[in-house]
């Protein structure tokens, strides 16, 4: 193995920057809508707003918000307050910024476990979590960190979580059940009202994973789209994770976690004093974290306002309608379930879609795949809209080619 060596001498800034640019040349071209996930975009002005706000707070550290940077504290509090309004949190609800959906979920699971330990007067209690098969792996990650168990229940025919299947896996050690709004694989919002009723009846915590939907589903509702209630309006919902760096169109890393019950702040926080430097109190798993991400989220809320988010959501959902119609106009393809926002997967009964994805990838389209059922999957934002026709044309051609030859995939696999 040859290991890249640490350069003896430095290079000029211009050379370094030029090399950075050239390093990108083999990357997937997200600006031309070629990535089915990872990047969320809503136009150049929004990109620039996020970037400029980020660099205004480039050096500050959100870890120091309590003592050194009241600006960061204020911005975080504002973001939490404004978002709680959006998610129908009552006055005693609370929330925190984190660096991503995974961190938000780890924090929610930890708070739930800490509360269960407190309520059950059992300081070593390790409960289980019951989630649909479609729930994000972050719950598994949280469970492995805390030595908990996650049980996955099959989804219903409409690809939403099946409350009866979830209940069948619950026992006296179940502390949390999960609903997604929407789930990553199928883009459908789980029956949160039914899950909330189940959670209340069995006395367990319902976490709603709105990492994808948290900042788009509320606006989709406002513009009259058919979005079922999924937030604190629904009785039984205890916590909600919502990613700013997805459909909030904020720069990474930025997410949020909310609790209906403000006393959860105590179960959420890390508070420690037994070391030489004194009290260490944080509300994130991370220590140091970028204040730029806080500033740019704050900037985005103020730059766009509800009006701006509604305008983007209108454009996005109009595009999604065209996309779905375009896909279903291709013989043999059908959209899975009835996706609520901008995550859409489609399957085929007569062609091997994994082979179709292989052909598409020759045209630069990074495949997004589901293995169950086999499907092509995309999380779309406005960066995909200008290339809609191009995508559908390539898709139709690939489907025709695969149908004509009956070809099957050479070895592509579904990966995130």
Ligand X SMILES: *Cc1c(COP(=O)(O)O)cnc(C)c1O
Q: Is 180 in the site for ligand X (CB under 6 A)?
A: yes
Least distance from ligand X to the Cβ atom of residue 3, Å:
30
- The least CB distance from residue 79 to ligand X, in Å, is 16
Q: Which of 80, 93, 138, 208 binds ligand X (CB under 6 A)?
A: 138
- Of 162 and 243, nearer to ligand X (C-beta) is 243
Q: Which of residues 60 and 209 has its CB atom nearest to ligand X in the complex?
A: 209
| Shortest distance, position 173 Cβ to ligand X, whole Å | 24
Binding flag, residue 212, ligand X (CB under 6 A): yes
Q: How far is 348 from 327, CA to CA, in rounded Å?
A: 11
Question: What minimum distance in Å lies between the beta carbon of 140 and ligand X?
Answer: 11
Q: Any contact of residue 268 with ligand X (CB under 6 A)?
A: no
243 scored as a contact of ligand X (CB under 6 A): yes
Nearer to ligand X, 104 or 348 (CB): 104
Q: How far is CA 181 from the centre of its chain?
A: 10
Q: Which of 100, 160, 115, 168 is nearest to 134 (CA)?
A: 160
Residue 207 lies near ligand X (rule: CB under 6 A): no
Nearer to ligand X, 105 or 402 (CB): 105
Q: How many CB atoms lie within 10 A of CB 180?
A: 30
Question: Quick one: 141 or 324, whose CB is closer to ligand X?
Answer: 141
Shortest reach from residue 241's CB to ligand X, in Å:
7
Stretch that binds ligand X, among 73-81, 94-102, 151-159, 344-352 (CB under 6 A): 94-102
Q: Does 365 bind ligand X (CB under 6 A)?
A: no
Beta strands (DSSP E) in 266-365 are 270-272, 280-282, 333-335, 343-348
Closest distance between ligand X and the C-beta of residue 286, in Å?
12
**Does the footprint of ligand X cover residue 231 (CB under 6 A)?**
no
CA 300/CA 206 separation, integer angstroms: 29
Q: What's the residue count for the chain?
A: 416
Using the structure block, give the residue that is written with the tokens 């926080």. Answer: 269
CA distance 189 to 148: 25
**Burial environment of residue 292 by CB neighbours within 10 A (0 to 12, 13 to 18, 19 or more):** buried
Tokens of 316: 């996005």
Closer CB to ligand X, 283 or 348, in the complex: 283
Rule CB under 6 A: say whether 239 interacts with ligand X: no
Our finding on whether 100 is near ligand X (CB under 6 A) is yes
Number of residues that bind ligand X (CB under 6 A): 13
Q: Which residues lie below 8 Å from residue 302, measured CB to CB, with a gap of 6+?
A: none
Q: Is 184 one of the binding residues for ligand X (CB under 6 A)?
A: yes
The nearest distance, CB 212 to ligand X, in angstroms, is 4
Alpha carbon separation from 30 to 17, 40, 261, 375 (Å, rounded): 20, 9, 40, 21
Stretch (H or E) spanning 70: helix 70-86
- The residue at minimum Cβ distance from ligand X is 101
Neighbours of 24 (CB within 10 A): 9
What Cα–Cα distance (Å) separates residue 384 from each residue in 223, 248, 330? 21, 16, 19
Q: What is the 3-state secondary structure (H, E, C) of 213-267?
A: CCCCHHHHHHCCCCCCCCCCCCCCEEEEEEECCCCCCCCCCCEEEEECCCCHHHH
Q: Which stretch binds ligand X (CB under 6 A): 162-170, 177-185, 190-198, 346-354?
A: 177-185
**Which is closer to ligand X, CB of 138 or CB of 237?**
138
Residues in touch with ligand X (CB under 6 A): 100-102, 136, 138, 180, 183-184, 209, 211-212, 243, 255
């Amino acid at each position: 193995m040859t290991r890249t060596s640490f350069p003896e001498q430095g290079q000029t800034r211009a050379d370094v920057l030029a090399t950075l640019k050239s390093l990108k040349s083999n990357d997937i071209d997200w600006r031309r809508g070629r990535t089915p996930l990872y990047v969320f975009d809503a136009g150049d002005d929004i990109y620039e707003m996020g970037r400029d706000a980020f660099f205004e707070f480039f050096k500050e550290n959100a870890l120091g918000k309590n003592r050194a940077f009241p600006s960061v504290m204020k911005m975080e509090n504002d973001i939490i307050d404004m978002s709680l309004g959006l998610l129908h949190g009552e006055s005693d609800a609370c929330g925190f910024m984190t660096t991503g959906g995974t961190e938000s979920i780890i924090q929610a699971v930890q708070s739930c476990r800490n509360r269960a330990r407190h309520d059950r007067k059992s300081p070593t209690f390790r409960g289980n979590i019951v989630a649909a098969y479609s729930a994000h792996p972050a719950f598994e990650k949280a469970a492995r960190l805390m030595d908990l168990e996650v049980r996955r229940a099959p989804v219903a025919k409409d690809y939403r979580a099946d409350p009866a299947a979830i209940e069948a896996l619950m026992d006296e050690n179940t502390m949390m059940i999960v609903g997604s709004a929407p789930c990553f694989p199928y883009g459908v919002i789980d029956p949160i009202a039914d899950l909330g009723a189940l959670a209340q009846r069995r006395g367990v915590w319902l976490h709603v994973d709105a990492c994808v939907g948290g900042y788009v589903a509320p606006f989709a509702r406002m513009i009259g789209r058919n979005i079922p209630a999924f937030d604190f309006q629904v009785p039984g919902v205890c916590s909600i994770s919502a990613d700013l760096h997805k459909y909030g169109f904020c720069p990474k890393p930025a997410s949020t976690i909310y609790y209906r019950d403000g006393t959860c702040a105590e179960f959420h926080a890390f508070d420690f004093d037994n070391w030489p430097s004194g009290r260490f109190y944080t509300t994130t798993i991370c220590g140091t974290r970028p204040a730029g991400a806080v500033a740019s989220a704050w900037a985005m809320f103020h730059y766009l306002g509800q009006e701006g988010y509604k305008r983007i959501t209108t454009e996005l959902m109009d595009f999604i309608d065209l996309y779905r119609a375009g896909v279903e106009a291709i013989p043999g393809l059908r959209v899975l379930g009835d996706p609520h926002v901008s995550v859409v997967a489609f399957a085929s009964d007569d062609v091997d879609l994994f082979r179709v994805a292989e052909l598409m990838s020759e045209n630069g389209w990074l495949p997004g795949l589901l293995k169950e059922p086999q499907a092509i999957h995309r999380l779309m934002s406005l960066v995909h809209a200008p290339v809609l026709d191009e995508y559908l044309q390539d898709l139709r051609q690939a489907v025709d080619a695969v149908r004509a030859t009956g070809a099957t995939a050479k070895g592509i696999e579904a990966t995130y």
